[in-house]
Amino acid sequence: MPSPQLGYTITVHRVDDDPLRFRLRRTVDEMRNAGATIENGLAANYLGVVLEGKLIVVPARRIAGIEIDPAPNVLVAHVIKDAEPA
């Protein structure tokens, strides 16, 4: 039986352009490696995504922030969990 997939919305907020928003579907097994994948991505000089047949490459210096909704259970080292708005 295939592993169930989870849907995630990724929003890349760019410094001087509209946000780049896309959906990903990943299995639970693939999400176990999410923390390492995110950390490696943050260390890179660019972020690339193939969207609707086009390769979009955003230089890291043009990224203001990245949102992942919902947050994966496996997080990177410097993430505070269970915070509430003040």
Q: Percent of the chain at pLDDT above 90?
A: 44
pTM beyond 0.85: no
Residue 39 structure tokens: 């950390």
**23-47 b/e (C-beta count within 10 Å ≥ 16 → b):** eeebeeeebeebbeebeeeeeeeeb
Q: Please state the domain extents for the chain.
A: 5-69
Q: pLDDT digits over 14-47, tens only?
A: 999 999 999 988 887 777 777 777 788 888 999 9
**Residue 11 identity:** T
Asked whether residue 67 carries a pLDDT value surpassing 80, the answer given is: yes
pLDDT band at 75 (very low <50, low <70, confident <90, very high): low
